[in-house]
Structure 1
Amino acid sequence: MNKKTKTWLKHFVFLIFGILIFGMFIYFLNDEHLEKLKYVNYSAAIAALVASFGITLSISLRWGLIVNTLAGDRVASWREYYHYFIQSRALGFILPNNLTDVGVRMFWLKKRHQTNLTNAGVSVALDRVFDLIFLFGYTLAVLPYWFGFVGIELVGLLVLIVFAVMGGVLILKQTLFFSIFRRMMLWALKILSIIPFLKKKAPTQFDFPDFPRPIIVKLFFISAFKVLFTITRFVIYIYVFSIAISPYMIIAGTPVAQLSYAFSFTPGGLGILEAGWLGILKLGSVPLQQALLFIIGQRILTIVLVSTLAVLSQLLFSVKHLKNTTHEKNL
């Protein structure tokens, strides 16, 4: 068995593992709560679709800005950046995360725009780094609640305060901001290196290109909007299925769940993301059945919403490509 076959077999095993974990959660959800998945608040579902578009658009704009800055010129249109990203995200539900998130985006940049593979890879890595920056900040913001220092109603305010402070330090003291973040990353990598199954997934080194301050500020605010859209979508999910969970609990639990997704080894974080959510919701004293309803509902709805956006993007992209081809033939 060659190396390529072993790699795909490993990913297949991870997919089955994720399906089994998710299936176990469905098994423990009682019939009464399982029935609630049939009754969808469509107004809330549409709002979740808008939030999903906000998330994917934010990531696409951030990634496109990084690619353009590294290249010193505009490489692709914003519509193309969005299309490449949403397709990679949709494929990520069934294929390995690294293959889809990194491979698909690099493939499109190389094939359609002859982008240097090194710059293409660095652009995706930097895109992920900005997610990590905000995950660190977000996690710090909710820790006072989880340690019992403040009430849950203050969580949202703490998140806004931490993001505002991060933005202020970045704008006024860019060097200090990245120096602090590098120290935090080194501390985190030391912890991750202790855990065997995370050691290989953790980056061994990192650095930031010397981007102009206006570009860094734009990347910061785009990333902030991405986080806010992510929080909003998770909160909307509880209204889609009429789940009895406080929105403040969702705000407090989101960074932990996102961290479990960031370091998951199953396609789309299947089973791992849900386990992270279940653990944090139970820690927050959410009843088991309500927690199970949320984690199952969010997975199903996320797949539907992202797939919908991917199909719409493909249709628009195909129409645009057909028009361009027809126009070129007529010349």
Structure 2
Amino acid sequence: MTTSIDEQIEAAESPGRNRLKSALRFVAGLALFAIVLRWLAPDWNELLASVDLDVGWALVGLAGTTAASFVTAARWRLLAEVMGGTKLPFAAYFYGLVVTRLLGQFTSTVAMDLVGRGAALRSAGSERGIGHAAMQVVLERTFDAVLPILLLVWALAVRDAWLPVGATLSLALFCLVFMALAIPLLGPAVRVALRLYLWIRLRVGKRRREQLVEAESSFASAPIVNTKLAAKVATYSVLRFATVVIQFWGIARAVGIEVSWEQMTAATPFAQLASILGLTPGGLGVIEAGWAGGLGWIGLSVVSISLFVLAQRVGVIAYFGLLSAISWPLAKREADRD
């Protein structure tokens, strides 16, 4: 009796079989985290003395996290439906996103994105498998890598005064460049992702060809990726990055770190790219290294960097924990209504 690629993914990601792997990833992440802090070598007395808690800015960070989760869930829903996914209420996507973000702080973030989010949709009533949802995550990660790379160029251009316009206008121009690239490429990217998913199911899952024909017919009935739809996905990607900047800007200011929005916008791409690569629990150590590089690049002191990498870790867990608790009753109510 053969199994599908989705069943194989679920088996491969079962807690019992991955316990040792998870433990090793945690140890590696903890070691890297310690190395980053050791490299910064902060004066801990000075670090504690520099903390100046501001609840108002902490709420700004929460607002940024909420907005980022909202637009990311909206983009996920659009991509899922474009790729032939089961239509589900928005609450299912929002809750699935924030709860996997929370769990990803303690397990592999990549695994939670590729497997956990698909499992969350299936528990909400999706008829598509985990592999199908994983392809959507791959598309999202492609968008979320291209934009930070462009913005790294923007940050360098602003720092070295390459452009004859100010930071705000040049940032808008770089975002327009991203959209000009993303809009025409989304349609082909979706088709490639779907074909790849079907090919994997045929080769690895050993599905019968008639089952694949049936699956292809259902994909054919999915919405066409026209310019309007692609523009929405690209806009959500830009808004996601902007709200993520607000999230971490709020966290930085909440603990008394004086940093401007321009500086945070220039530093955030380093951490965003590091988070895509991070295989440790919550990107532990990897994300901190990204922040250390980004914040050091904009000229923050080692004390401020050390304080921020600790604060952002606590803040992210607290924010996603709160959003998970708030959104769970809403998602449950929608599921019971269906």
**TM-score when scaled to structure 2?**
0.75
Q: Partner amino acid for 2:98?
A: I
Give the CA deviation at 1:108: 2.6
Does 2:91 align with 1:65?
A: no
Secondary structure at the counterpart of residue 160 of structure 1: helix
Change (3 A) 1:259 1:320: same
Q: What whole-Å deviation, never above 9, does each CA across 1:268-311 have from its counterpart, x for those lacking one?
A: 11111111111232233321111111221112111111111111
In structure 2, list runs of 5 or more residues that go unmatched: 1-11, 193-222
SS state at 1:71 partner: coil
- Could you say if the C-alpha distance between residues 136 and 221 of structure 1 is closer, same or farther in structure 2, counting changes exceeding 3 Å? same
Q: Does 1:92 align with 2:68?
A: no
Structure 1 partner of 2:319: 305
**Offset at residue 100 of structure 1 (A):** 1.0
Q: Report the CA distance shift for 1:283/1:166 in structure 2 as closer, same or farther (over 3 A).
A: closer
Partner of 1:106 in structure 2?
118
CA distance in 1, matches of 2:286, 2:182: 33
Deviations, residues 152-211 of structure 1 (Å, cap 9, x unaligned)? x9444322211123334656xx269989xx9xxxxxxxxxxxxxxxxxxxxxxxxxx972
**1:13 and 2:24 aligned:** yes
8 Å Cα contact 1:26/1:296 also seen in 2? no
Give the root-mean-square deviation of aligned CA atoms: 3.0
Match of 1:56 in 2: 69
1:43 aligned residue: 56
Compared with structure 1, are the counterparts of its residues 313 and 35 closer, same or farther at alpha carbon in structure 2 (3 Å cutoff)? farther
- Name 2:145's counterpart in structure 1: 132
Query: What residue number does 1:257 align with?
Result: 271
Aligned to 1:166: 178
- Gaps (5+ residues) in structure 1? 183-208, 326-331
CA distance in 2, matches of 1:285, 1:127: 31
Give distance in 1, aligned partners of 2:259 and 2:328.
36
**Normalising by the residue count of structure 1, what TM-score does the alignment of the two structures yield?**
0.77
Matches within 5 A, 1:267-278: 267-278=281-292
Distance in 1 of aligned mates of 2:242 and 2:297: 23
Distance in structure 2 (CA, Å) of the matches to 1:61 and 1:306? 17
Q: CA deviation at 1:116?
A: 4.0
